[in-house]
Amino acid sequence: MRKLLLLTTVILVGLVFIARLFYLQVYGGYEYDIFEDTAIKKEFTYPKRGYVYDRNGKLLVANQPSYDVMVIPREVEPMTPEDLTEFCNLLKITKEEYNKKLERAKNYSPRLPSPFVPQLSKSDYAVLQEKMRKYAGFYIQKRSLRSYQTTIGANVLGDIGEVNRSIIEKQPYYKLGDLIGKQGVEQSYEEILRGTKGIKFIQKDRFNKSIGPFKEGRFDTLPVPGKDITITIDSDLQAYGELLMQHKRGGIVAIEPNSGEILAMVTGPSYNPNILVGRNRSKNYTKLHYDSIAKPLFDRGLLAQYPPGSPFKVINALIGLQEGVVDEHDTFSCRMGYYYGSRRLTGCHHHRSPVDMNMGIAQSCNAYFVNVYRRIIDKYKDAGDGMNIWANHAKSFGLGDFLNNDLSVGRPGRIPNGDYYDRAYGDNRWGSTYNVSNAIGQGEVEATPIQLANMAAAIGNRGYYYTPHIIKNIEGDTIPSNFTTPKYTSIDRKHFEPVIEGMFDVYNDGTAKSLRVEGIEICGKTGTAENFAIVNGKKTQLTDHSIFVAFAPKDNPKIAIAVFVENGYWGSRFAGRMASLMIEKYIKGSITRTDLENWILTHSLEDEYAKPISDEPFKINGETTLQVIDNYAIKLEDQETLKQ
């Protein structure tokens, strides 16, 4: 019995070992082991990154060859002082830098390759290539860098830079030294543009020398090139917008209403995208990042949340019509502002009175739109319910929320609802008089330039819009259906005509009559957003912002546009001129209003940005109001600060 037990135990143990060996040999496979095997060297082959073209087929972004010196620390052999000096001279680094780079590579991995000196030029590569055999543990890896065929659209195109550890942990595809899209379309369409890396497995002998392809190259793969893409930007219009925005801060967004394609997306100040290519990328990026005055990396067209000012009045007109609290013939008096009892809640400029909807839009009457706004909110017994109805109508135009577009950055803006004011004042303890600034695009309302351009497109389309997007075509693929499906507002189509007539009369006999362009029927709305900062606990008036939204032609519009110029005084002064010029440039291809163009190109706002507002910084919600103007309007949440 004991002999049988011993025999059985030996057989069972043997079977366990056989089963385990069979699993490791058959099911473990080379696909897992090959990447763990230190006797096999892995060499990646990088694909050609996809090209980027504008809507007219003009090449914007191509590739140029680049060469990285890679290092495998465990294979590095000690050099003679002469060889080390020669190697450092070839790489244009000091011996101290050599030691630091080698130590950094060891900390990453002693056995895996990592970049030692990236992005050598062709001339440096040619000299170094002949001598690489002398430096064990180092080799040269070829890859592509971007070559920008333009000097415009840095915020649109973006750039590529090295991945960090955080990206590598989240996306195992990338290895140390790999490049990834950092901003703009390079980031949004990274997976399409990058392609797929190829890999070669090299067998090494016991002396750690390469002896040829592993398994005759059976597991090697070829790189798959990235796909070319065509973006919606008109590079000529983009360049013209950047020219107009020189020496100013702000954003311009132009959209094709019948498709949602973004024609131009200008932010000012901007920079030449070519400075973020090559070995100086890190140094140049740091300079841009820490420029606290110009903030060139801050895309104002997508990220800046401004009070929309008077352009928002047309939304209140449409909501008033939809809710049936006003029609285009109703009139209200204006005594240089809106009065609640003996108290003036908002001022207004001089114009005829009484005012109907057409004149209210054309002359931008504050009193008219406060009356309309109050009727909307007060239609409902509970102010919170009225506020929610109002907010839902406004949000149907893409305001107060992310537009679900394909841009790399964005902010939602803000459309306050009943809950917002309940939290501020308490349930049932407030009414429409508490927030009449919303009637004229001030108060708690905020919007980004792209949202205002989309709003103009929806009005021009008489009640619908397409999600603004930057992609027009992907090589061998289709664009997402989200961008080709119309989104409808909550306003009936019939209500748009009187509002559009009012916007048309802004150019005929209103606040933009001096900005007309012969042969183009433009519908627009000027805006002046009050601009304050809180300095040492006090509300301090700064130079107002200039805003303009428009679309043209009046029927079947080809372009909708929003222009925002920080500290640009009033709507028609800077933003209105720039909008008319951009519209004419796109529709006609040339400029006849050279008087407007010359004025814009010879007027700078740089002095406004350098104007000191305080010797002491003052913090609002943890953010500092700097000595440069930082565009704080007084919001509801700041009122407690003001009381103190």
In the chain the domains, ranked by start, together with CATH numbers, are: 44-127+136-231 (3.90.1310.10), 235-290+297-643 (3.40.710.10)
Q: What residues have CB less than 8 Å from 552, skipping those under 6 apart?
A: 520, 521, 522, 523, 558, 559, 583, 587
**Does the pLDDT at position 97 exceed 50?**
yes
Which contacts of 75-83 are long-range, i.e. CB under 8 A and separated by 24 or more positions? 75/136, 75/137, 75/208, 76/102, 76/136, 76/137, 76/138, 77/136, 77/137, 79/135, 83/134, 83/135
pLDDT tens digits for 377-401? 999 999 999 999 999 999 999 999 8
- The most distant pair of C-alpha atoms in the chain lies apart, rounded to whole Å, by 117
Task: Please give the pLDDT value at position 643.
Answer: 32
Cβ count within 10 A of residue 285: 16
**Mind listing the pLDDT tens digit for each residue in 193-240?**
999 998 888 887 766 677 777 777 788 888 999 999 999 999 999 999
Give pLDDT, residue 143.
Answer: 81
- Mean pLDDT of the 510-516 span: 92
Query: Can you give the pLDDT at residue 393?
Result: 97
Report residue 626's pLDDT band, with 50, 70 and 90 as the boundaries.
very low
Residue 503 has pLDDT above 70, yes or no: yes
For position 628, what pLDDT does the model report?
27
Rounded CA-CA distance 578/587 in Å is: 14
pLDDT tens digits along 445-467: 999 999 999 999 999 999 999 99
Q: What is the pTM of this model?
A: 0.84
Report pLDDT for 370. 93
Average pLDDT of span 139-164: 90
The pLDDT of residue 609 is: 60
Spatial distance between the Cα atoms of 571 and 564, rounded to a whole number of angstroms: 9
